[in-house]
Amino acid sequence: MGRARPDQGLTRGPSDRFVLPLVLVSGCLVAWARSPSVILHPRLYAEDGAVFFRAAYSQGWHAPLSQTYAGYLQTFSRLVADIGLLVPLSRVPLLFAVIALVVQVLPAVLVASRRFARAVPDLRVRLLLAAVYLVLPNSSEVNVVLTNAQWHLAVLAVLVVLAMPAAGAWRVFDLAAMVLAGLTGPFVLSLIVVTAIVYYRRRQGWTLIVGAVALTTGVIQFTELLHAPRPHVGPLGATASRLTEILGGRLIGNTVLGTSTTSSGRFVAHLLAISILFLVAALVVVGCALWRGPFELKMFNLWAGLTLAGSLASPLASAQGYQWQMLVGNAGDRYWLFPSLAFVADLIWLAGQIRTPWRIPAASAAALLVVFAAFGVREDFRYPVVSAPGWQAQVRQFDRLAPGQSFTFHIRPPGWTMTLTKK
Average pLDDT value for residue range 38-52? 92
Q: At how many degrees (to 10) do helices 149-162 and 205-227 cross?
A: 150
**Residue 389: pLDDT band with limits 50, 70, 90:** low
What is the rounded CA–CA span in Å between residue 300 and residue 314?
Answer: 21
What is the rounded CA–CA span in Å between residue 133 and residue 160?
Answer: 16
Structure confidence by residue, pLDDT tens digits, 340-378:
999 999 999 999 998 888 888 899 999 999 999 999 999
pLDDT at position 264 is 86
Report the sign of the C-alpha dihedral through residues 142, 143, 149, 151, in that order: positive
Lowest-pLDDT choice from 197-201, 229-233, 258-262, 311-315: 229-233
pLDDT at position 5 is 45
Structure confidence by residue, pLDDT tens digits, 85-106:
999 999 999 999 999 999 999 9
pLDDT at position 206 is 96
The 3-state DSSP class for residue 49 equals helix
Structure confidence by residue, pLDDT tens digits, 241-281:
999 999 999 999 999 999 988 888 888 999 999 999 999 99
**Residue 388: pLDDT band with limits 50, 70, 90:** low
Task: Say if residue 13's pLDDT is above 80.
Answer: no
Average pLDDT value for residue range 194-218? 97
pLDDT at position 8 is 44
Work out the end-to-end distance of the chain between its first and last CA atoms, rounded to an integer number of angstroms.
Answer: 63
**Residue 7: pLDDT band with limits 50, 70, 90:** very low
| 293 alpha carbon, distance to own chain's centre | 23
pLDDT at position 414 is 84
Task: Say if residue 237's pLDDT is above 50.
Answer: yes
pLDDT at position 386 is 63
DSSP string spanning 236-292? ----HHHHHIIIIIIIIIHHHH-HHHHTSHHHHHTHHHHHHHHHHHHHHHHHHHHHH
Residues above pLDDT 70, as percent of the chain: 96
Task: Say if residue 129's pLDDT is above 50.
Answer: yes
Task: Say if residue 3's pLDDT is above 80.
Answer: no
At residue 262, φ and ψ (nearest 5 deg) are -80, -5
pLDDT at position 373 is 94
What is the helix (H) or strand (E) element at residue 119, kind and residue range? none
Average pLDDT value for residue range 38-43? 88
Average pLDDT value for residue range 218-223? 97
What is the rounded CA–CA span in Å between residue 186 and residue 423?
Answer: 35
pLDDT at position 103 is 97
pLDDT at position 318 is 81
What is the rounded CA–CA span in Å between residue 154 and residue 160?
Answer: 10
Structure confidence by residue, pLDDT tens digits, 305-344:
999 999 999 998 887 889 999 999 878 889 999 999 999 9
pLDDT at position 174 is 97
Lowest-pLDDT choice from 76-90, 125-139, 195-209, 370-384: 370-384
Lowest-pLDDT choice from 199-213, 221-235, 238-252: 221-235
Residue 349's nearest CA partner among 411, 414, 291, 421 is 291
- Contact call for residues 418 and 409 (beta carbons, < 8 A): yes
pLDDT at position 390 is 86
The mean of the pLDDT values for the chain is: 92
Q: Please name the residues in contact with 300: beta carbons below 8 A apart, sequence gap of 6 or more.
A: 158, 162, 341, 342, 345
